[in-house]
């Protein structure tokens, strides 16, 4: 069951990240996050009302607060990177943060297989291959635009996985709700002071609501999977979402990348998959 839930999280995050990154090219990232998070809060509130589950006295739920804050920062940096750079390159870079939960597991007493260690090396090597592109004006090599934001997002994604795993040990539904609420609490004053345009249009609003449903469903599936299975396995399978994002960016956004970058993207995703042998 934890593997099935992780796969569902993978697809949900992959779809949400493509929509969020693509729409960030023409809309305020803050507004995208606001609509997405509000949609998630309503969705989770309906689930809580349906299952009639009162708020539990669980001290581990406090970990959902830093999970929500780091998750917000991670997705903000990811969407901005996808808005200025190539989606099919930067999405796999952001997912490489899954290496952090693996390291966390090692520090907690877990053991790593040789295949998983090879996967880490492959993921890092592939990421380096993917982010180097040619500068046609100077005929030199340079790092792809948005790489700094994607790298920062990767670190925060890893922290999100670790803190969320702690939070959802016993009550994943409430952990998911607290992460969304904490996100709103942080996001609201930022939007108040920065005052981005709120006019999204009915068509765009529909996309953002759908994105919010996908993102929240994915996060909830990850929370359920984490409460039932090992973080090292659940986090890695869930982190294969860039494969979905890359496919969508190729089909819908018609992105084209150099062969060596394509090979790097393939290696990065393959490396992430190999880490699941942990």
* Predicted confidence (pLDDT) per residue in 44-57, tens digit: 999 999 988 889 88
> How much is the pLDDT for 199?
64
H-helix segments, the chain: 2-23, 29-51, 64-84, 87-95, 99-107, 114-130, 147-167, 172-194, 202-228, 231-238, 241-251, 259-274
> How much is the pLDDT for 133?
66
Q: Average the pLDDT over 68-86 and give the result.
A: 91
DSSP-assigned letter for residue 142? E
Question: How many folded domains does the chain comprise?
Answer: 1
Per the document, the length of the chain is: 278
Does residue 198 surpass a pLDDT of 80?
no
> How much is the pLDDT for 73?
94
Q: Average the pLDDT over 169-195 and give the result.
A: 90
Domain limits at 180? 2-277
- pLDDT confidence tier of residue 112, bands split at 50, 70 and 90: low
> How much is the pLDDT for 269?
78
Q: Average the pLDDT over 16-27 and give the result.
A: 88
Q: Average the pLDDT over 226-243 and give the result.
A: 76
SS3 of 179-218? HHHHHHHHHHHHHHHHCCCCCCCHHHHHHHHHHHHHHHHH
pTM confidence score:
0.82
Q: What angle do CA 153, 157, 158 make, to 5 degrees?
A: 125
> How much is the pLDDT for 144?
78
- Distance of alpha carbon 237 from alpha carbon 266, whole angstroms: 15
């Amino acid at each position: 069951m934890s593997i099935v839930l992780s796969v569902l999280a993978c697809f949900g995050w992959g779809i949400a990240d493509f929509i969020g990154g693509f729409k960030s090219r023409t809309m305020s990232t803050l507004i995208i996050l606001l609509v997405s998070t509000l949609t998630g809060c309503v969705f989770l509130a309906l689930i809580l009302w349906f299952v009639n589950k009162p708020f539990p006295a669980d001290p581990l739920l406090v970990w959902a607060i830093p999970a929500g804050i780091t998750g917000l920062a991670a997705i903000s940096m990811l969407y901005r990177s996808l808005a200025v750079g190539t989606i099919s390159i930067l999405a796999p870079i952001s997912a490489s943060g899954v290496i952090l939960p693996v390291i966390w597991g090692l520090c907690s007493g877990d053991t790593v297989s040789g295949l998983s260690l090879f996967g880490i090396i492959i993921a890092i090597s592939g990421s380096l291959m993917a982010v180097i592109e040619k500068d046609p004006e100077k005929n030199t090599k340079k790092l792809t635009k948005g790489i700094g934001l994607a790298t920062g997002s990767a670190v925060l994604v890893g922290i999100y996985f670790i803190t969320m795993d702690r939070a959802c040990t016993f009550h994943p539904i409430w952990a998911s709700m607290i992460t969304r609420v904490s996100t709103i609490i942080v996001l609201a004053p930022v939007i108040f002071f920065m005052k981005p345009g709120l006019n999204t249009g009915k068509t765009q609003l529909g996309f953002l609501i759908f994105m919010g449903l996908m993102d929240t469903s994915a996060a909830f599936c990850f929370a359920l999977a984490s409460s039932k299975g090992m973080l090292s396995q659940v986090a890695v399978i869930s982190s294969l979402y860039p494969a979905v994002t890359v496919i969508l960016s190729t089909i819908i956004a018609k992105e084209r990348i150099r062969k060596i970058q394509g090979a790097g993207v393939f290696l990065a995703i393959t490396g992430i998959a190999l880490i699941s042998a942990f």
